[in-house]
Copies of this chain bind each other. A is one copy, B any other.
Amino acid sequence: MSDLNHRISQRLKELGIVLPEPPSPVASYVPAVIVGRLCYTSGQLPLHNGVLSAEGAVGSTVSVAEAQEAARQSILNAISVAAAAAGGVDHLKRVIKVVGFVQSADDFHQQPQVINGASNLLQEIFGEDGRHARSAVGTNALPLNASVEIECIFELME
């Protein structure tokens, strides 16, 4: 970890962002797993202090703006669990891949705009290293009735 330089923790401070506490691991799966220099996160819901920031289908009861905020919260949780697994946020080097599931009314087609709430934050925090490959898809149902679920792959510092 020779080039560990507090880049990301510094950037979070500049942006005024405090990472959420990572959730406690549950019995049979964990929030994030490291293999080689990649860190895979579990799907993250927009939970903030135990409360969902958006519930229900986007395009019916939830607006695009509300869902973007939920996507932002979900990716903050993803950064938090990856940081905890990696030994600190400064061990996260780059964002490789994001998959965003958006609970959608059947006629809602702006999943990319919703997931921009996550992608834009990744670029604010990680700069060039935040530019990731991404899929944004709809779904009719998510855990806890959440509006968004996001999983992600980070590359770690060597």
The complex places the Cα of A62 from the Cα of B57 at a distance, in Å, of 22
* Residue of B with least CB distance to A154: B35
The yes or no answer to A61 lying at the interface (CB within 8 A) is no
The complex places the Cα of A98 from the Cα of B33 at a distance, in Å, of 11
A40 touches B106 (CB 8 A): no
A133 touches B97 (CB 8 A): no
Interface size on A, residues (CB 8 A): 59
The complex places the Cα of A41 from the Cα of B104 at a distance, in Å, of 23
A131 touches B43 (CB 8 A): no
A137 touches B130 (CB 8 A): no
Find residues 106-132 in chain A having any chain B CB closer than 8 Å to their own CB. Answer: 106-112, 116, 119-120, 122-123, 130-132
Interface of A is mostly: mixed
Binding site for B on A (CB under 8 A): 25, 27-33, 35-38, 40-43, 57, 59, 94, 96-99, 101-102, 104-112, 116, 119-120, 122-123, 130-145, 149, 151, 153, 155
- Provide 26 A-B residue pairs closer than 8 Å at the C-beta atoms, listed in order of the A residue: A27-B120, A28-B119, A29-B119, A30-B133, A33-B97, A33-B132, A33-B133, A35-B155, A36-B37, A40-B96, A40-B133, A41-B133, A42-B133, A43-B134, A43-B135, A99-B135, A102-B141, A104-B140, A105-B141, A106-B141, A109-B141, A110-B143, A111-B142, A133-B151, A135-B149, A137-B149
